Amino acid sequence: MSQPTIQPTIQLIRGFKDILPGETELWQTIEKTAITLFEDFGYREIRIPIMEKTQLFARSIGEDTDIVEKEMYTFPDRKGDLLTLRPEATASICRSYIQHKMYAQNPVQKFYTIGPMFRRERPQKGRYRQFYQIDAEIFGIEEPYADVELIFLLHTLFNRLNVTDTTAHINSLGCPNCRPRFKEALSSLLDDASEALCKQCLRRKDRNPLRVLDCKVPGCKEAMAGAPALIDFLCDDCRDHFSTVTDLLSMLDVPFTIDKQLVRGLDYYTRTAFEIQTGALGAQSAVAGGGRYDGLVRSLGGPQTPAIGFAIGFDRLAEIVSTCNPAVLKTPDLFIAALGKQAKELAFKWTAELGSNGICTTLEYRRKSLKAQMKQANRAGAGHVLILGESELDSGVAVLRDMAAKTQKEIPLDLVVEKIKQTFSKTCEQ
Ligand code: HAM
């Protein structure tokens, strides 16, 4: 019987998306691969809220960044407090580290978190308004080993997922010691280029000149083409730090490119900044990004604590992985084709028992002919079908059919669960 078509009247919010069965299997594989790797390297999961006080993001990411200026979902709650849907995880993890005085127990903490973030950007391929990040952070370590550990983790994760068409771009953004000399050099260029700058950059020019380097407006990009690079202004300590990072990356055979133009879109970075870029996603070339933020914990009211982290764009990674890996579809281990009320009730009991024993079993609850049920089992890709009709009930044996081998055997009704468990434990051992 054909179903009348029902027009959905309420649709998704622009820039938001559903991740459907068929895709979620891949998301789960990526998530499991990442979690295994994080746990092998001593990272522990932290779960932070989806909403925070707006001030937290404004102060950490920076008032002059695109994210804070124009992309945050911010609204007053019923009492008028300004709240924001998190655009990233780092600020919240810092807040949590400080609020729970985790540093008192041990300043060195390694965290990971996976979840949705929200930025009101112009939607396009690889860019959404709700997107997911896989995030890792290391607190309390100033030494460049931490920087390299994180880039190594990204490299390893991408390799395990068969993603090889990526390059790690790295740069150093210096520290408060080296910034003033750089800003001076940049300011004279900005003064000369004033006429070419967009309205926002004219404001940023004096308040936060570094941000102009990250502006996506074509006029600003052109004006900044010959701009000096921070890496050429590093103090001795920052230069040593960066050269140790590159030496250690080479020692671990992690390929990288030094990218003097890499500035990142958030204000909190110091020293090492990096991005994993790919040609697979059109304009959205960064599949992961991160860097050091040695001053952030202190600026949010905690003790001076060096820190570094990264976030992978989960949606972007899933898109790349789906193009280089065959689809993973979960199929039932067993389909039970039961006919008649009595058979169905018995099969229902078996299904519950087998499911609780880790054997994925599908039972057709609706009234369908044997032929229709066999067709259905085939379509679902079930490895085995157990047939239980009136004649099987009468004879006291059910028929188990191996769909690939096209063989079948009889099983006494009171031994069905036990025998099927044995069959599947043998299949698993092979
Ligand atoms: P981010 O570069 O803003 O860094 O974001 C990290 C990654 O999230 C990007 O490289 C991209 O793959 C993905 N992403 C960002 N915006 C979108 C979007 N609208 N749609 C889809 N994917 C997106 C951070 O968020 C920092 N918190 C990273 C970090 C952690 N730094 C230190 N620790």
Averaged pLDDT score across all residues of the chain: 93
* Nearest partner of 360 among 329, 392, 327, judged by Cα: 329
pLDDT band at 428 (very low <50, low <70, confident <90, very high): very low
Task: Return the pLDDT at 1.
Answer: 55
Residues 6+ apart with CB under 8 A from 297: 94, 97, 98, 103, 139, 303, 304, 305, 307
Q: Work out the average pLDDT over 226-247.
A: 96
Q: Work out the average pLDDT over 249-274.
A: 96
Indicate which atom in ligand 1 lies nearest the CA of residue 287: 12
314 lines ligand 1 (CB under 6 A): no
C-alpha span between 198 and 196 (Å, rounded): 7
* Nearest partner of 92 among 53, 64, 41, judged by Cα: 53
User: What 3-state class would DSSP assign to 335?
Assistant: strand
pLDDT tens per residue across span 131-183: 999 999 999 999 999 999 999 999 999 999 999 889 999 999 999 999 999 98
Least confident of 126-130, 220-224, 359-363, 399-403: 220-224
Task: Return the pLDDT at 429.
Answer: 45
Task: Return the pLDDT at 216.
Answer: 83
Indicate which atom in ligand 1 lies nearest the CA of residue 121: 19
Task: Return the pLDDT at 189.
Answer: 87
Distance 390 CA to ligand 1 centre (A): 60
pLDDT band at 2 (very low <50, low <70, confident <90, very high): low
Task: Specify the residue with its C-alpha closest to ligand 1, atom 21.
Answer: 127
Q: Is the pLDDT of residue 7 over 80?
A: no
% residues pLDDT > 90 (the chain): 80
Task: Return the pLDDT at 426.
Answer: 59
C-alpha gyration radius of the chain: 28
Indicate which atom in ligand 1 lies nearest the CA of residue 290: 31
Q: What is the DSSP letter of 386?
A: E
Indicate which atom in ligand 1 lies nearest the CA of residue 264: 2
Task: Specify the residue with its C-alpha closest to ligand 1, atom 2.
Answer: 289
Q: Work out the average pLDDT over 256-271.
A: 95
Q: What is the DSSP letter of 210?
A: G
pTM to 2 decimals? 0.91
Distance 219 CA to ligand 1 centre (A): 25
pLDDT tens per residue across span 107-128: 999 999 999 999 999 999 999 9
111 lines ligand 1 (CB under 6 A): no
Residues 6+ apart with CB under 8 A from 163: 278, 287, 317, 320, 321, 324
User: How many helices, marked H, and strands, marked E, lie in the chain?
Assistant: 16, 16
pLDDT tens per residue across span 62-83: 999 999 999 999 999 999 999 9
60 lines ligand 1 (CB under 6 A): no
Distance 233 CA to ligand 1 centre (A): 27
